[in-house]
Amino acid sequence: MHDIDRTQLEADYESEEPEFEGFEGEDEESEEMVLAGELLAVGNEAELDQFLGKLIKKAGRAVGRVASSPVGRMLGQSLKKIAKQALPMAGKALGAMGAAYGIPPSVGMAVGGKLASGLGSAFGLELEGLSPEDQEFEVARRFVRFAKEAAKGATAQAGLDPRTIASSALRNAAKRHAPGLLSTLGGGRVSGLVEAGTPGLLSEAEEMELASELLEVSDEGEVDQFFGKLFKGAARAVGKVARSPIGQVLKGHLKQLGAKALPSVAGALGLPPGMSGGLGSMFGLQGELEAEDEEYESARRFVRMSADAAQRVLGSEGDGSPVAAVRSAVASAAQRHAPGLYDMMRGGEQARAWQGGAPRGTPSQPRAGQWVRHGNRIILFRV
């Protein structure tokens, strides 16, 4: 698709615009061109995710392990959003997804391509006179340069939340490599391109940080610390669940499910992984991600499920067993955030173990009595 003439075109282009110096040295120059070619070959959203992950990881060779950090995840989401709006090939990849929802591929591709019709304007390129193929290559190459600069900028900042760091890094990279992006997408600001997060008890940054911590637990003490931090983060909306009796019951059940669904938790508790299928199947990921990304996204959905369960527990005051209330809350949260885990809880030997009582290592809890929520406190009586 791209031959020796294109290589010469790239050399001429660089000599005409020396102010854009995103890469240094012949090796990085070649890498930039290879990555641009890979971006042109993107055919669907899953491939776009894989490409962006690879791009950030390559930048990480020089700037540290940004790819697997909360900042790296936030940056990847933002770059994906920018790519969908500014790159023709990414817009068409997005449009191709419409086939899964009954939209004819030809219509989806046309709509997706139109979403990214800005071409070089976002990156300050003058493409007049170039063939459509060459135009796409120039845009792809400039996006690679912009993304790498943003990754470098993200690692140079510390002490701020991931969303703020990613937004600042994108803004600075856009000023240098994509001046048109500032006006085309956001009226001079790129902060709107950074994902604000999903509605819920935890902010996007908190959710990502907790997911990273969950993947690094090494013993039961660290697992307990993780749940304590998670409950405290959710306490803004649901009260002091962490230290309440029902909070201890909830933590015990979530530890049991965590061991069945996440290898990191099982290993920390000294138990074999309890899942029978792929990790992503527990959380409805359908095996579309690379192993590392699938593990992270699974941990993130487990965090989301746990916070949801905490909210449901403290919103279901009434008579009955606290253990039964916890089971109901966890089941409802799992049905929403972890369909495979929910199915496991409903049937089979694992479900019988789940229904048989509190998990191993959890203090025995009474199965009868009454409880009621009073402000931020849970009051147990007749137990």
Query: DSSP states of 360-381 as a string?
Result: TTSPP--SS-EEEEETTEEEEE
Cβ count near 45 (within 10 Å): 17
pLDDT band at 378 (very low <50, low <70, confident <90, very high): low
CA-to-CA distance for 260 and 298, rounded, in angstroms?
A: 12
Contacts of 241 (CB under 8 A, 6+ apart): 231, 234, 235, 247, 250, 310, 313, 314, 378
Instruction: Identify which has the larger pLDDT, 261 or 241.
Output: 261
When pLDDT is cut at 50, 70 and 90, the band that residue 219 belongs to is very high
* Main-chain dihedrals φ then ψ at residue 301, nearest 5 degrees: -70, -30
More confident residue, 96 or 72: 72
Mean pLDDT of 286-302: 76
Q: What percent of the chain has pLDDT over 70?
A: 54
**Distance between CA atoms of 123 and 82, rounded to whole angstroms?**
11
Q: How confident is residue 176, by pLDDT bands cut at 50, 70 and 90?
A: confident
Rounded average pLDDT over 31-37: 87
Q: Are 193 and 111 in contact (CB under 8 A)?
A: no
pTM summary value = 0.46
Under 8 Å CB-to-CB from 261, ≥6 apart: which residues?
274, 275, 279, 282, 283, 298, 302, 338, 341
Q: Return the percentage of the chain with pLDDT > 90, whole number.
A: 3
**Per-residue pLDDT at 220:** 92
Structure tokens, 194:
């950074």
Joined together, the tokens standing for residue 327 give 């089971």
Question: Does position 134 have pLDDT exceeding 60, yes or no?
Answer: yes
As a whole number of angstroms, the distance between CA 252 and CA 259 comes to: 11
Are 80 and 48 in contact, with CB atoms under 8 Å apart?
yes
Residue 5 has pLDDT above 80, yes or no: no
The pLDDT assigned to 263 comes to 87
In this predicted structure, what is the pLDDT of residue 68? 59
Identify whether the C-beta of residue 283 lies closer than 8 Å to the C-beta of residue 301: yes
| 3 state DSSP class of 168 | helix
H runs (alpha helix) in 156-262: 162-177, 179-184, 204-214, 220-238, 245-261
**339 pLDDT tier (thresholds 50, 70, 90):** confident
Q: What pLDDT does residue 222 have?
A: 92
Enter the tokens of residue 32. 């930039």
Could you give the CA distance from residue 182 to residue 236 in angstroms, rounded to a whole number?
35
Token digits for 365?
A: 């809890």
* Stronger pLDDT, 199 or 341, i.e. the higher one: 341
Give 234 or 142, the one with higher predicted confidence: 142
Is the pLDDT reported for residue 360 higher than 70? no
Q: Residue 72: pLDDT above 70?
A: yes
Rounded to 5°, the CA angle 278-283-289 comes to 65
pLDDT one-digit tens code per residue, 163-175: 778 888 888 888 8
Domain edges within the chain:
4-193, 204-381
Tokens 């949260």 label which residue?
333
In this prediction, residue 4 carries a pLDDT of: 38
Nearest 10 degrees: CA dihedral of 31, 33, 38, 41? Answer: -170
Whether the per-residue pLDDT at 285 is higher than 60: the answer is yes
